[in-house]
Amino acid sequence: MTSNYVSPFIIDEPTREQILTGTSLEDFLENHAKSNPGDGRAVSDILLGLAKCSIQVRETINQGALGSAFAGVKGSTNADGDNQKELDVLADDNFLDAMRSVPVALYGSEEINNPVLLDSEKKYAIAIDPLDGSSNIDTNVSIGTIFGVLPVVGEPAKNPDETFLQPGSAQLAAGFFIYGPQLAFVVSVGNGTHIFVYSARSGAFILAYENIMIPDQTNEFAINASNHRQWSAKQQHYIDELLAGVDGPRGKRFNMRWVGSMVADAYRILIRGGIFMYPGDRRKGYSDGRLRLVYEANPVSMLAEQAGGGAICCNKDGVTRILDIIPTGLHQRIPLAFGSSKEVDCLAGYSKKS
């Protein structure tokens, strides 16, 4: 049977990829290495190692329920008591292996209780959540990998924890991969936040947004509103005033989005603004929220700040910039809010009110 059907997806015009400058991640990192004689080369090698691994992880994710990695719950729990899925563990194994061939001394992961010593002679450490949003794995919703790169301090073989107890401001680089409709890499090496999109056509990550800036104002918020009754009075008051819309004190309607994968909510906020919150609440084990300081809050806070946004912790002690907090443990949780700078300031104002 013959058909005259012509796919609308086959086009002769240049794609946006061809029109873009065509800067690949490799070019970008080579430039970073050359212009930063100190840590630049090592950081670039680590980022490239992570990026290559993300392509493998993405291939596994793309198989979905047809692949063996979607077999479901592995029957074990991670350091925080969450059920581990096959894919959580597989992603962790893949990234751990990838870090063996780059200058990483220590690997601190959500999926492993204690940091893993890879090579005590190396000078860098990686803090990673290999699969963020893992409750979305089976639901075909975006998930991701989020990480920060730290300089090693002290003696990694004797006291591996010490390196991970540095504040987020010590991060040399941070980023996340998002396994969504596109495979994208959001990264900062301390000079802005940039977004690379993976091109299957060229087999490379291509710079799609250079120096992305989060709009400073927003009318969109992200929070798991089902926890409303468990929040502090100040947190409830802030959200209630957003929900009051044009008739309330904020005088405008706010929209809500909650993916349940922080990386996906963060990507949306980078693209069009918004505020993300996971505050502490009264549920058992949730007094400091759900997100982990060292490998979730710190990387996303560096990316938000480098994109002109804000990132704070609001709790009973007041308001603190996330990147200034000295961690007490690799798996420590922290109440987290980040996003459009004026909205983050506004939330801080509510948290300070008596």
Which partner from the list ligand AHM, Mg ion, none does 25 bind, CB cut-off 5 to 8 Å by kind? Answer: none
When asked if residue 261 is in the footprint of ligand AHM (CB under 6 A), the reply is: yes
Kindly tell me which residue out of 56, 83, 169, 224 binds ligand AHM, with binding defined by CB under 6 A: 224
Task: Work out how close the CB of 278 gets to ligand AHM at its nearest, in angstroms, rounded to a whole number.
Answer: 6
Q: Do 234 and 350 meet the contact criterion of CB atoms below 8 Å apart?
A: yes
Q: How far is the CB of 88 from ligand AHM (least distance, A)?
A: 8
Among the candidate windows 99-107, 129-137, 156-164, 168-176, which touches ligand AHM by CB under 6 A?
A: 129-137
Which residue in the set 32, 85, 234, 290 belongs to the binding site for ligand AHM (CB under 6 A)? Answer: 290
Decide if residue 132 touches ligand AHM (CB under 6 A).
Answer: yes
Report if residue 188 touches ligand AHM, rule: CB under 6 A.
no
Q: Which positions lie near Mg ion, rule CB under 5 A?
A: 110, 129, 132, 134
Residue 344 sits at the vertex; the CA angle it makes with 340 and 345, to the nearest 5 degrees, is 120
Residue ranges in the chain assigned as alpha helix (H): 16-19, 25-35, 40-63, 86-98, 160-164, 233-243, 262-272, 298-306, 341-352
CB of 259 to ligand AHM, least distance (A): 7
Between 177 and 278, whose beta carbon lies closer to ligand AHM? 278
Placement of tokens 């989020």 in the chain: 146
Asked if residue 77 binds ligand AHM (CB under 6 A), the reply is no
82 binds, options Mg ion, ligand AHM, none, Cβ within 5 to 8 A by partner type:
ligand AHM
Q: Which does 351 bind (CB under 5 to 8 A by kind): ligand AHM, Mg ion, none?
A: none
The DSSP secondary structure of 282-349, one letter per residue, reads: SSTT-TT-S-BIIIIIHHHHHHHHHTT-EEEEEETTEEEEGGG---SSTT-B--EEEESHHHHHHHHH
Q: Closest separation between CB of residue 230 and Mg ion, Å?
A: 22
22: left (phi over 0), alpha (psi -120 to 50) or beta: left
- Do the Cβ atoms of 326 and 165 come closer than 8 Å? yes
Smallest gap from residue 10 Cβ to ligand AHM (A): 37
The span of 91-99, 133-141, 151-159, 212-220 binding ligand AHM (CB under 6 A) equals: 133-141
DSSP state at residue 28:
H
In whole angstroms, the minimum distance from the beta carbon of 335 to Mg ion comes to 18
Identify whether the C-beta of residue 329 lies closer than 8 Å to the C-beta of residue 260: no
Residue number with the shortest CB distance to ligand AHM?
A: 262
Which range in 115-123, 246-254, 256-264, 331-339 contacts ligand AHM by CB under 6 A?
256-264
Q: How far is the CB of 296 from ligand AHM (least distance, A)?
A: 7
The CA-based dihedral angle spanning residues 291, 207, 180, 200, taken in that order and rounded to the nearest 10 degrees: -140
Among ligand AHM, Mg ion, none, partner that 111 touches (CB below 5 to 8 angstroms by kind): none
CA distance 69 to 331: 25
Q: Which residue has the tokens 């002769």?
A: 12
Q: Which is nearer to Mg ion, 78 or 315 (CB)?
A: 78
122 versus 290: smaller Cβ distance to ligand AHM: 290
Contact flag: residue 315 with ligand AHM (CB under 6 A) = no
| The dihedral formed by the CA atoms of 252, 258, 263 and 267, expressed in degrees to the nearest 10 | -40
Direct distance between the N- and C-terminal alpha carbons of the chain, in angstroms, rounded to an integer = 75
Strand-pair category, 220-222 with 255-256: parallel
* CB 319, min distance to ligand AHM, A: 21
Residue 226 DSSP label: G
Binding-site ranges for ligand AHM (CB under 6 A): 82, 110, 129, 132-135, 224, 260-262, 278, 290
